[in-house]
Amino acid sequence: MTTSATPSDLEIARSVKPRPIIDVAHDLGLQDDEIELYGSAKAKITLAGIARLERERPRGKYVLVTAISPTPLGEGKSTTTVGLAQGLNRIGHKAAVCIRQPSLGPVFGIKGGAAGGGYSQVIPMEDFNLHLTGDVHAIGAAHNLAAAFIDNHIHHGNALGIDPLNVLWPRVLDISDRALRKVVIGLGGKENGYPRETEFVITVASEVMAVLALASDLADLRARLGRMVLATTRDGKAITAEDLHVAGAMAVLLTDAIKPNLLQTLEGGPAFVHAGPFANIAHGNNSVLADRIALATNEIVCTEAGFGADMGAEKFFDIKCRASGLHPDAAVVVATIRALKMHGGVGRIVAGKPLDPALLTENVAAVTAGGANLAKQIENVRLFNVPVVVAINSFPTDTPAEVEAVRAVALAAGATEAVVANHWAKGGEGAEALAKAVWAAAEVGAPDFKLLYPDDASLTSKIETIATQVYGADGVDLSAVAAKQLAQYEALGYGKLPICMAKSQYSLSHDAALKGRPTGWRLPIREVRLSAGAGFVTPLAGEMRTMPGLPSRPGGENIDLDAEGEIVGLF
């Protein structure tokens, strides 16, 4: 919360004049014909430029930024990612940021923007949070084009024999709208479409978004789109986008979107912003291509994974690293003392309401108790043999005794260091100590990096491994529907795909009410979805939804234009 003496994130962002983005690109070694300008402050990087620089440059160090199980306010993971890169630049290491582009759903809902905060932001902040270069809209258009082709094929004789009751492809919209979770389409008679039940999901949960984020080049993008399973026949045969002859047109719509976007931090360092899959219902990481261009042009790259280490980090390792062939040298787990108190059973955090006073009062016992969540998230990263540094995202109400309690928990759980970071208030200067600890960990690296499960394990075994080893469940309970779907996917030849779990981000379990490190529970899987083009299978745990709803007081109520036509109310 800001006061009259504390400028808002938007005011801070506007107080800095961005460097010409062409200068930022030239500093990276990009040539003019490898840079596509979108105004003076943002640009796209061509795939040819990425390929050239990868041939000519050594790979930089690769650092993943993840977190504890967050509160509805978040733990400052994006802010820490930006602040850490700024800190690394300040201590003499050429560093870049790689983060996701936000969905308009959270921007106008609860969470707000995702450009960082305070003096650790990516700018221009308004562009970052609102449309940027149109990638998300291109993804939505490509996705909905496939949906239209399905219904059109059924209308014009259904030569492929698609079962209208087994159309697997929803429609998408990049606005949170619970009224569209379940809909019936085609009610206008024969000429207006075959009547059937379907759903909308938020665009960032589209398989097309995941495909874009994981594609290695344009040919790979086109091939992945063609493999997407859109429906089945009555006898269970998969109908792909290639079968419907729509994959090529979808790829055409994405020829600009596949190019990573280049922006900058408040301190003028490079920031790559590309793709934005949610981590609670998708794989939660920015694009492989953005990481690759960053690694080819910097000594060290800070890439962010969504939500806690049980969500975005596990998917980063088991899905993104499996697809890219890259692996990280170190990881940062972000924690806040207020969130650890909440995990320790003290206070309640509700977005849009003042913080519970109990969270602002020293309580070392609650921090230590809530530290069980931090310890488990450190253990989750260590499952992959990656060294961990804990970043204690500082707030003015934190006390020395509480900080020491966090450090004790972190070091006992296997972190190499736990460092207080004040990058929100001081930018890179406030993250110098964190930067030194992260560089030291990355220097050691992760020579024994390993994935959690092999490709040839069964889908059910992979789900059980994640549930028991990462979440701490006693086991998995598959619904009859989920068990049938898993058997079908295995029979269709998709059994070697990794798992992309969809579950609550607010708990290690499927139940947001279970804080800390819950024990004595089992993970219920109600259904399982196939993303053959992206290359993973998605079990839906508990009541997880793929289309969010708006809160009672949406953040969009605060967003407007002032008398001078300037945007106000973004946060």
From the CA atom positions of the chain, what is the Rg in Å? 23
Cα–Cα distance, 311 to 210 (Å, whole number): 15
Annotated catalytic residue 77: yes
Beta bridge partners of 36: 44
Per-position DSSP letters for 85-119, written without gaps between them: HHHHHHTT--EEEEEPPPPHHHHTSSS---SEETT
Compute the distance between CA of residue 477 and CA of residue 282 in angstroms, rounded to an integer.
21
Which residue is catalytic, options 108, 128, 272, 424?
424
Closest C-alpha among 352, 349, 353, 351 to residue 339: 349
CA atoms within 13 A on the CB side of 431: 30
Other CB atoms closer than 10 Å to residue 180's CB: what's the count?
19
Question: Is 279 an active-site residue?
Answer: yes
Catalytic one of 213, 279, 366, 421: 279
What's at 23, amino acid-wise?
D
Pairing of strands 330-335, 200-202: unpaired
Per annotation, catalytic residue among 44, 61, 111, 338: 111
Q: Cβ distance 373 to 516 under 8 Å?
A: yes
Would residue 339 show up in a list of annotated catalytic residues for this protein? Answer: no
Does the active-site annotation cover 307? Answer: yes
What amino acid is encoded at 309 in this protein? A
Active site residue 272: no
Q: Are 384 and 320 in contact (CB under 8 A)?
A: no
3-class secondary structure, 556: helix
Structure tokens at 356: 């519970």
| CA pair distance 539, 191, nearest whole angstrom | 36
Cα 300 to Cα 97: distance, rounded to the nearest angstrom: 9
Distances 379 to 176, 325, 333 between C-alpha atoms, Å: 34, 23, 11
Active-site residue, 149 included: no
* CA 238 – CA 431 distance, rounded (Å): 51
Out of 61, 77, 322, 515, the active site residue is 77
C-alpha 478, offset from chain centre: 26
User: Is 79 considered catalytic here?
Assistant: yes
Catalytic residue among 46, 66, 71, 79: 79
Per DSSP, the three-state class of 151 is helix
Residue 35 CB neighbours (<10 A): 19
Cβ atoms of 466 and 457 within 8 Å: the answer is no
**Residue type at 410?**
A
CB 302 within 8 A of CB 269: no
DSSP-assigned letters across all residues of 163-179: EEEEE---EEESS--GG
Q: How many other CB atoms are found less than 10 A from the CB of residue 1?
A: 7
Which residues are the active-site residues?
77, 79, 100, 111, 279, 307, 395, 424
